Amino acid sequence: MTVTVVTLLTRRPGMSREAFRAYYETHHRVIGERVLAGYATRYVRRFLDPLDGTEAPFDCDVVMEIDFPDEATRDTCFAALAEPAVAAMIAEDEERLFDRGRTRTFSVIEHASSLAPLAPGASAR
């Protein structure tokens, strides 16, 4: 049974979307990979682009997903992340990147629908 944790993250005020993504992928991602190694089976960042083309502020800039093989491994990982030296390292880097007061983390309960595939040559409605 896979256990998924989803975190909604918002860039810090004044940081451009491009700078946010660049820093996340070149620096913060590496920290994530290092602290999640041995616990998580998947670590994905889904950067959001508004389809309406507006630059107006919105609730989050990236959806981070982390999969664990089970709840016990997730809990052990979270305990390791809470160790003072690790938590301080993560928090210090997050201050450069996120509006930390807006971060929200969720456990995911998934329900999937089975949909018929699109017939060859058919177009979507």
pTM: 0.86
Distance CA 61, CA 39 (A): 25
On whether residue 39 sits in a domain, the answer given is yes
Residue 124 has pLDDT above 80, yes or no: no
Q: Which of 4, 3, 19, 15 is nearest to 100 (CA)?
A: 15
On whether residue 119 sits in a domain, the answer given is no
pLDDT at 50: 84
On whether residue 124 sits in a domain, the answer given is no
How many domains in the chain? 1
On whether residue 120 sits in a domain, the answer given is no
Domain containing 98: what range?
3-107
pLDDT at 4: 97
Would you give the distance in Å from CA 102 to the centre of its chain?
A: 13
On whether residue 113 sits in a domain, the answer given is no
CATH number of domain containing 58: 3.30.70.100
Q: What pLDDT, in 10s, does the model give residues 31-85?
A: 999 999 999 999 999 999 888 877 777 789 999 999 999 999 999 999 999 999 9
Residue 65, exposed/middle/buried by CB under 10 A (0-12, 13-18, 19+)? middle
